[in-house]
Amino acid sequence: MSIFRKISAGVLLTSGIFCLLVAAYTPADREVNQEDKLSHAVAFLVLGLPLTAVGTWTVWGLHRDSQKEKTAHIDFTFYRLVEEGQGQITLMRFARDTQLTDAEAKVYLDEKAKAFNANFDVSPEGGVSYRFHL
């Protein structure tokens, strides 16, 4: 389904942008008379705008779905690591397993720590460890 949506989005956007470019070029075409210029421009606008809009909407939907999948993966990884660590999780391991940057992982874990009333420890080496109550 996703590959079909990606191909559809590409075809729709390409076709729509092509029609809009033709609509923009038509008034400057010297080989076409004035009446035909207007009708061609309007026809390509009427065709190009919906194609571009639907293509853009499809791309936005794909982006939104991708973000949902990423969030679900991060949440799943968080709960798995907390369970594996018997309530304890380190910032470094979470960042590594989720492929988030250190800053993104810290923000995420800080939010979860507030939501679940967790504690955190800082090791002498500077590593941060969160303790969640199971």
Domain boundaries, the chain: 1-68, 85-134
Q: How many CB atoms lie within 10 A of CB 48?
A: 20
User: What pLDDT tens digit does each residue of the chain (134 aa) get?
Assistant: 689 999 999 999 999 999 989 888 878 777 777 778 778 888 888 999 999 999 999 999 999 999 999 999 999 999 999 999 999 999 999 999 999 999 999 999 999 999 999 988 888 887 778 999 88
Pairing of strands 88-90, 128-131: antiparallel
CATH 3.40.50 fits domain 85-134: no
Q: Are residues 37 and 31 in contact, defined by beta-carbon separation less than 8 angstroms? A: no
Q: Whole-structure pTM over 0.75, yes or no?
A: no
